[in-house]
A and B are shown apart, each in its own frame.
Chain A
Amino acid sequence: MTANAGSDEVMEVDVLVIGGGTAGPMAAVKAKEANPDLRVVVLEKANVKRSGCISMGMDGLNNAVIPGHATPEQYVKEITVANDGIVNQKTVMAYAERSYDMIQQLDKWGVKFEKDETGDFNVKKVHHMGTYVLPMPEGHNIKKILYRQLRRKRVEVINRYMATRLFNGPDGRIAGAMLLNPRTAETAVIKAKTVILCTGAAGRLGLPSSGYLFGTYENPTNAGDGYSMAYHAGAELSGLECYQINPLIKDYNGPACAYVTGPMGGYTANAQGDRFIECDYWSGQMMMEFYKELEGGKGPVFLKLDHLAEETVEEIEEILHTNERPSRGRFHENRNTNYREKMVEMHISEIGFCSGHSASGIWTDENARTTVPGLYAAGDVGSVPHNYMLGAFVYGAIAGEDAAAYCADHELPEIDKAEIDKERARILAPLNREHGVPAHQVEYKLRRLVNDYLQPPKVTRKMEIGQDRFAEIRRDLELISAEDPHELMRANEVSFILDCAEMAAAASLYRTESRWGLYHYRVDYPETDNGDWFAHVQTKKGEDSKPVNFKRPIDPYIVELGDAEKDAYQKLRVNNANA
């Protein structure tokens, strides 16, 4: 793309995939497989070779539904219970039914999964009820494998352009996106019949307790871009009050990886070295027990490995120090933490949106369709709960295939030129301002306010004060100045983060009950109220440009729960004298 001043290069495509991390490459490949004649483009803010939260690979599948170990029905039950009943089961089932095919597809592409001596997948039990965890001891090369497929299927890749807003056509359906180059500040427009948002979590919402803006749990490239873009395009979002909060290694802020260590004998312990939770699978209820222990007299919380045999510890080190977050070895080394001798101190993460781990996302159905025609969402930014990496792959595939079919019946919509001009002026404004406030200062303040006012335990009055302070930050957006295109990218990300903060506050205030353990623990509404609140809470952009909330009924279950199963995740605390 070439330089521009006031006019933009316009590219016309059939399928525009925004985000080249996990779901994105899969969506593009499957759209091309469905119809090789389509023009399919993956747009990536970074570089597809190393982008997204699996930049350095992944150590396993957390939700493998493999015949002989689990059935799709069991999995749907498990996620329904783990998510306190608030699920669209059809979407979870659509994942579960394609889970095994996707594993076989990845296996064929060269992803190495752990197999036993008979060649069967070596699945481990981590969840409360079923068995779904499949280790990938050599999972560090997964991005290379995806990249190879992008090349093979002739998908066009545009690296180092961020999307800032989506455009709607005259009839409301999706029509394309505005692009900004973070190295040159060039802008561009892509007209598209379909857009698939694969932009990952809102990882820079809360501020990590280290105070380091980029020391987040999620890849901090993911500022909540997709949540904000879907919101402004008129799409419905869901479950934004069901925050992502994870148990992590303190300060390092990466996962302690009880899923890896659990099946090998490691566990989450209190300061006395005692187990206090029955199950290390991440859920709101588990986080509530974690939080109580952390704040209680037996806190803080640790990952305990110091009782394991030497060869087991070596195996754990080999997996954890080469995959996903491989710098963790040097972090432990700096603090003289040797797994053999010392438990690893843990803490809880900053809040974020992420359906990969909890349930906050852009509302999609079982075809990955959002409520805006032609707009899809897959992966962490979609709304299918507890979807993890394999869910991102499956929903990427579903979105790619459905988008390819949509293209056959639709022409390219027009984009209003005035909208393009308005958006270009908005995103370039900080570059033309002198002596303003730098983006990082506004971002720090905004995310500190998110911690102060939105982080659970949630208090009504505090969240309302938070809303007032966010309104002040919204005025401050007009003061941000950027000295170079890189800072301009950060300035535009602040506006994504602010949209997410306002949506988080609105959705949390709307649901006047407590649910999902710590994720939505409202101190002034401490009980779960299934009478009034057995429903999805949706968020949409209102007439006054502020978030509006409403309930969406839960679709009738397709897999009924047994009475004994319903509260399985409410009984996570170890029941003995030591706990």
Chain B
Amino acid sequence: MPSTKITNTVPVTVNAEACIADKGCSVCVDVCPLDVLLIDQAKGTAYMGYDECWYCLPCEKDCPTNAITVHIPYLLR
């Protein structure tokens, strides 16, 4: 079937200055129950790759540098 891409805002914001994924940290990726966080190898930071969030907060609470902010997904806000 023919298809198209649509853009979604995602609830998780990563502060690139604070994120230490380039030093090998992957805590947020490890703890996310839905496995929606990824590491951008080129930028060396974590980001949300899929709009599938339970706004449950382990990524934010367990981040060693407080780089993550979880917002309530737009549809629920």
Centre residue among A212, A220, A490 by max chain B CB count within 10 A: A212
Q: Does B75 contact A (CB under 8 A)?
A: yes
How far, in Å, is B58 (CB) from chain A's closest CB?
4
Residues in B whose Cβ lies below 8 Å from that of A157:
none
**Complex Cα gap A463–B57 (Å):** 37
Decide if B57 touches A327 in the complex (CB within 8 Å): yes
Q: Does B18 contact A (CB under 8 A)?
A: no
How far, in Å, is A569 (CB) from chain B's closest CB?
31
Contacts known (A47-B31, A50-B62, A210-B76); A327 close to B55, Cβ less than 8 A? yes
Contacts known (A55-B56, A220-B54, A326-B57); A215 close to B75, Cβ less than 8 A? yes
Decide if A55 touches B76 in the complex (CB within 8 Å): no
Chain A 481-492 per-residue mask, 1 if CB under 8 angstroms from chain B, else 0: 000001001100
Q: Does A182 contact B (CB under 8 A)?
A: yes
Q: Does A330 contact B (CB under 8 A)?
A: yes
Chain B 11-29 per-residue mask, 1 if CB under 8 angstroms from chain A, else 0: 0000000000000000000
Decide if A252 touches B52 in the complex (CB within 8 Å): no
**Complex Cα gap A32–B34 (Å):** 29
Q: How many residues of A contact B (CB 8 A)?
A: 40
Chain A 192-222 per-residue mask, 1 if CB under 8 angstroms from chain B, else 0: 0000000000000000001111111001110
Decide if A252 touches B76 in the complex (CB within 8 Å): yes
How far, in Å, is A473 (CB) from chain B's closest CB?
16
Docked complex: A347-371 residues within 8 A CB-CB of B = none
Residues in A whose Cβ lies below 8 Å from that of B77:
251, 331, 334-335
Decide if A183 touches B70 in the complex (CB within 8 Å): no
Q: Which of A160, A216, A331, A435 contacts B35 (CB 8 A)?
A: A160
Number of A-B contacts (CB under 8 A): 89
Decide if A252 touches B50 in the complex (CB within 8 Å): no
Decide if B34 touches A214 in the complex (CB within 8 Å): yes
Decide if A49 touches B31 in the complex (CB within 8 Å): yes
Q: Does B1 contact A (CB under 8 A)?
A: yes
Decide if A55 touches B35 in the complex (CB within 8 Å): no
Q: Does A325 contact B (CB under 8 A)?
A: yes
Decide if B72 touches A331 in the complex (CB within 8 Å): yes
Centre residue among B57, B73, B76 by max chain A CB count within 10 A: B76
**Complex Cα gap A451–B18 (Å):** 43
Contacts known (A325-B56, A435-B1); A215 close to B33, Cβ less than 8 A? no
Q: Does B3 contact A (CB under 8 A)?
A: yes
**Complex Cα gap A183–B71 (Å):** 25
Please give the residue numbers on chain B whose beta carbons come within 8 Å of chain A beta carbons, in ascending order.
Answer: 1-3, 30-36, 49-50, 52-58, 61-62, 70-73, 75-77
Given A47-B33, A215-B76, list of 11 further CB < 8 A pairs?
A: A46-B32, A46-B33, A49-B58, A56-B56, A56-B57, A212-B73, A220-B34, A220-B52, A327-B55, A435-B1, A438-B3
